[in-house]
Chain A
């Protein structure tokens, strides 16, 4: 039983002109693949960038009023207010004198917490978390220490000797400080923590919201953002978003031109076939329908292949740049579909004009 249907004719036509069909399919696949890859990365971008920004350290600093210590359980309350994802470390400061008689800022802190919070610090060797007398020497502070292995410090008449565990280098104020365990610091200097550095994951809005909560929780304390970091992160995230949008649009446009050329050539090649169909009584709507259906089929096939290819590309890019895999996101599929159908529709406009102006008699006569 032989059946002649629009879909059947379309299938046969695509197979018959396989080189042209493959060329159009490749263009539509590239479009869908690039859109899938970029949109998949885009969807994960905030999380990935924020994760990257976490390595730059604290984005909020809470300080007690001058000469006053932090309230009791301040760290736990800050952690609770900031959420479980936030990283926090408290610091106590004193200006002590080294064995060479040079004043130097000594900071007491929890090395394990600082190591998580300030993972960007260049540290020769982090002291063991259980060590009670270890010291990390800032690159500049070390110049004022006579014996780096037995760091002798004096504060308010109290002396202490610490084991120099290594140097730290940050390029900032930390290079001029000596860090030691908080418990040992408090016992030695009699000074409690006065600063909490906090790293809140998320964009500027989340940082602002956390700051508002902290100000409410600790009205007597100063809650300050690390401006460069918060604003820098916000700008980079916004610019990356714009860049990705731009890239998607640019690629979509390029692909649209390529598909336009392919579809136009496809119609021009088959003008006689279309002219014949018109001569046989095919209406303008039927012919346009056939042609648009062809463009739609190519667009859908492009989405099917492009989604797989694009998801794989997103995974590879993510793995290569952020060292974490990005899983395929079916949620981007409707947008990719919309984009490809829009490209196919745009590209079909010119060939549709050709079809509208078809002169069957002249074409069938071979003129």
Chain B
């Protein structure tokens, strides 16, 4: 795996040679709004969100319950489409896609890590990883085994979820998210259901993935986990009210570069 470097910058991600964040954005929102029809009228779950996330960046999305985090995750995860505005994932506008196109696009671009793991109970760890391959293209047992080895579960491949600890289940979930080599890892409270020891393991795994150049968008309530990210996007009442570009050095890569 190689990373084609464009530029290394710190602070506000701007490139003196001309490459802007938008050029390198793997996720770009411009005035994105998502409204739902409710009983009492239209409910605006997310309003006029504009920001971008560049390839290789680790972003934490924070905010209280009802602030629009889930809506934002749905949109970035291609599980939903904006009511207004432009949402580009890997330079492709998802707003105009049909449901079928969005299914295919999601399988290609997004790796999901869930708080509750969501492993299929009657499939082994290996088969749960292969399930993502099945819906993406075709299964490859060797690759799936390698993914499990990568998250430290090489000796647990044939165990079903009920035979795995919470931390192990989450690592299976991470292996499943990685298996199709998606440009974006979308982690929704990845340590929310784990004890301290397993939180540490998963956090280290995410750090490792980030070091290897993965783009990680992580929803979290945990300030410690949020602190690991390079950047926070805070939400309140459906509004993105702060997205400072700060933290450790970020390597700008063009979103089309693959790991």
- Checking A13, A277, A366 against B135 with a beta-carbon cut-off of 8 angstroms, the contacting residue is A277
Alpha-carbon separation in the docked complex, A316 to B161 (Å): 49
Q: Are B131 and A280 interface neighbours, CB within 8 A?
A: yes
Residues of B at the A interface (CB closer than 8 Å) are 70, 73-74, 77, 79-80, 99-100, 103-104, 106-108, 112, 114-116, 118, 120-124, 126-127, 130-136, 139, 141, 176, 188
Q: Which A residues touch B73, using CB under 8 A?
A: 361
What would be 22 A-B contacts, judged by CB atoms less than 8 Å apart? A2-B126, A4-B139, A13-B122, A15-B122, A276-B120, A277-B135, A278-B79, A281-B103, A281-B106, A281-B135, A282-B103, A283-B100, A283-B103, A284-B99, A284-B103, A361-B70, A361-B74, A364-B114, A364-B116, A365-B115, A365-B188, A367-B70
Name the residue in A279, A280, A361, A367 with the highest tally of chain B Cβ atoms < 10 Å from its Cβ.
A280
Alpha-carbon separation in the docked complex, A364 to B116 (Å): 8
Contact residues of A between 278 and 294, Cβ < 8 Å to B: 278-286
Kindly report which residue of chain A lies nearest to residue B176, judged by CB atoms.
Answer: A280
Q: Are B136 and A281 interface neighbours, CB within 8 A?
A: yes
Contact A279 to B79, CB < 8 A, known contacts A4-B139, A284-B103, A366-B116: yes
Alpha-carbon separation in the docked complex, A362 to B45 (Å): 13
Q: Are A276 and B118 interface neighbours, CB within 8 A?
A: yes
Alpha-carbon separation in the docked complex, A280 to B99 (Å): 14
Name the residue in A3, A283, A364 with the highest tally of chain B Cβ atoms < 10 Å from its Cβ.
A364
| Total interface residues in chain A, CB < 8 Å | 31
Asked whether A9 is an interface residue with its Cβ less than 8 Å from the other chain, the reply is: yes
| Shortest Cβ-Cβ A-B pairs, 4 listed | A281-B107, A16-B122, A361-B74, A281-B135
Name the residue in A13, A272, A279, A360 with the highest tally of chain B Cβ atoms < 10 Å from its Cβ.
A279
Q: Are A361 and B118 interface neighbours, CB within 8 A?
A: no
Main secondary structure of the interface of B (DSSP, over half): helix
Alpha-carbon separation in the docked complex, A277 to B120 (Å): 9
Alpha-carbon separation in the docked complex, A273 to B73 (Å): 19
Contact A280 to B141, CB < 8 A, known contacts A361-B70, A364-B116: no
Q: Are B127 and A2 interface neighbours, CB within 8 A?
A: yes
Main secondary structure of the interface of A (DSSP, over half): helix
Minimal beta-carbon separation of A216 from chain B (angstroms)? 72
Kindly report which residue of chain B lies nearest to residue A15, judged by CB atoms.
Answer: B122
Alpha-carbon separation in the docked complex, A309 to B122 (Å): 32
- Checking B116, B126, B132 against A280 with a beta-carbon cut-off of 8 angstroms, the contacting residue is B132
Contact A280 to B114, CB < 8 A, known contacts A4-B130, A273-B120, A286-B135: no
Q: Are A279 and B106 interface neighbours, CB within 8 A?
A: yes
Minimal beta-carbon separation of B144 from chain A (angstroms)? 8
Alpha-carbon separation in the docked complex, A4 to B131 (Å): 7
Contact A279 to B139, CB < 8 A, known contacts A361-B70, A361-B73: no
Q: Which A residues touch B80, using CB under 8 A?
A: 361
Q: Are A279 and B77 interface neighbours, CB within 8 A?
A: yes
Kindly report which residue of chain A lies nearest to residue B173, judged by CB atoms.
Answer: A276
Asked whether A1 is an interface residue with its Cβ less than 8 Å from the other chain, the reply is: yes
Minimal beta-carbon separation of A302 from chain B (angstroms)? 22
Q: Which B residues touch A227, using CB under 8 A?
A: none
Q: Which B residues touch A12, using CB under 8 A?
A: 122-123
Alpha-carbon separation in the docked complex, A179 to B123 (Å): 84
